Amino acid sequence: MTSRLSNERIKRIDSFLQNKYIDTGKLSGAVMLVARHGDIDHFSALGNMDVERGKTTEKDSIYRIFLMSKPITSVALMTLYEEGLFQLNDPVAQYLPEWTDVRV
């Protein structure tokens, strides 16, 4: 199966991460992998994994994630969105009726 993702557009994500996060010091480094239908479309490593030692981030760098609920929930939501089971502009109350009159 061929990918429908634009390599040129995916590479813009690297530039965005580099310019807005790594160059500004918000992140020291990042590893990004984009896959669709089991095929890897983009795999990159940016910045440093150890700033003090000047060790660059590699594609096999290991990151410690302390709270797993957010990444797991994000992947689940992206999967449901890809399957067309919800839209990003759907009201939350459509799925959780108790949130109908919530005010912020």
Domain boundaries, the chain: 1-63, 65-104
pLDDT digits (tens, 9 = 90+) for 74-93: 999 999 999 999 999 999 89
CB count in 10 Å sphere of residue 30: 19
For residue 10, name the pLDDT band (cuts at 50, 70, 90).
confident
Cβ-based burial of 45 (10 A; exposed 0-12, middle 13-18, buried ≥19): middle
Alpha-helical segments (H) within the chain: 7-17, 69-82
Sign of CA dihedral 4, 81, 39, 12: positive
Cβ-based burial of 14 (10 A; exposed 0-12, middle 13-18, buried ≥19): middle
> Percentage of the chain with pLDDT > 90?
59
6, 19, 53, 64, 93 from 48: Cα distances, Å? 27, 14, 9, 15, 42
pTM for the full predicted model: 0.59
